[in-house]
Amino acid sequence: MTAPDAGELRRLTRELLAAHPPATTGRTDFLKARFDAGLAWVHYPVGLGGLDAPRSLQPVVDAELAAANAPDNDPRRIGIGLGMAAPTILGFGTDEQKQRFLKPLWAGEEVWCQLFSEPGAGSDLAALGTRAVRDGESWVVDGQKVWTSSAHVARWAILIARTDPDVPKHRGISYFICDMTDPGVEVRPLRQITGEAEFNEVFLTGVRIPDSRRLGPVGEGWKVAQTTLMNERVSIGGARIPREGGMIGPVARTWRERPGLRTPDLHQRLLTLWVEAEVARLTGERLRQQLVAGQPGPEGSGMKLAFARLNQEISGLEVELLGDEGLLYSDWTMRRPELVDFTGRDAGYRYLRSKGNSIEGGTSEVLLNIVAERVLGLPAEPRNDKDVAWKDLSR
């Protein structure tokens, strides 16, 4: 079957709109019909929401749907599923797993979260200690995960756990899909400096996961997790935004609307950060074009590094620009939001929340090592635990 070109995709999109008018079709019904038509993510295989078309043609479909006022799948709400779980399931899942999970994931019927980091295994994720022990056709999982966004609203989780403590840490890990509604899964909120609890800690006590929900071979979960992590960094740092989108937008608007706040020093700093934000935005576009040819690589780590630094510097400038007003934070309340909204809140929120950008999705220190070793080709840091069994590591 020949991959469709832009003209064919426009025709198929218009057929979808004619058969399922957005004005009279329920949101979920329309999204499911879009998935079935192969117009969800056109580069995915036929039958799994795609048409085996080039990834670069997705904007053709999106533009037609936007012009018709068609609903989207609220990608910010289901970002972990779209950006991390879906490409991992596509790359390592069985046919049954792909058929079961991808459609409700894309349509937003099922929210996903990520059970990776642990209290003793954050930057050194491969040192994780959550155990999965085989019991017949199931695995019994015990352990604790932390910094889990959306766990309080998620139905499913991507989970890595140690299945063999007798081999070095990277080789004894397996990758699972965990049902967050199963007995033994307990989600507790973690209150942040913003006053909210978008993150959680998750306790797993005797949780039984069928072997049919394992992704990839036993003991090769680290390889599977690399696909998740590389996609995560692209989704965090490389999201498509318009010019003056993201954190630079509110600062630029304040600068234009309130000339009394300006000083020559702040002017120069704003110009510098505006240029850096635009460079990062265009670099993200180039990265997405590279993705057309294959899977994300270490370049996503560089984008995520830039994203974290820019957000923190821009939010700091905004607070300075506003003076006393910038110190106000009008909504310091305990909530458990589903979404992180950087631009729809006040400057105080942005300043506080951006501090987490250099931790979530991989710390900046770890990402610097990845860029140094895998992009620049610099010598790897000395590691004395590569050949030591996990059980013999000091903790």
Alpha-carbon separation of residue 345 from 153, 259, 328 (angstroms): 22, 21, 11
CA-based torsion, 248, 253, 254, 258: positive or negative: positive
Residues annotated catalytic, as ranges: 232
DSSP 285: H
The secondary element (H helix, E strand) that includes residue 302 is helix 299-322
CA pair distance 152, 201, nearest whole angstrom: 10
CA pair distance 49, 41, nearest whole angstrom: 6
* Contact assessment for residue 127 and residue 390, using Cβ atoms and an 8 Å cutoff: yes
Alpha-carbon separation of residue 185 from 10, 78, 155, 160, 173 (angstroms): 45, 21, 11, 15, 20
Amino acid at 240: R
CA pair distance 168, 163, nearest whole angstrom: 12
Amino acid at 184: G
Pairing of strands 112-115, 185-190: unpaired
Pairing of strands 185-190, 173-179: unpaired
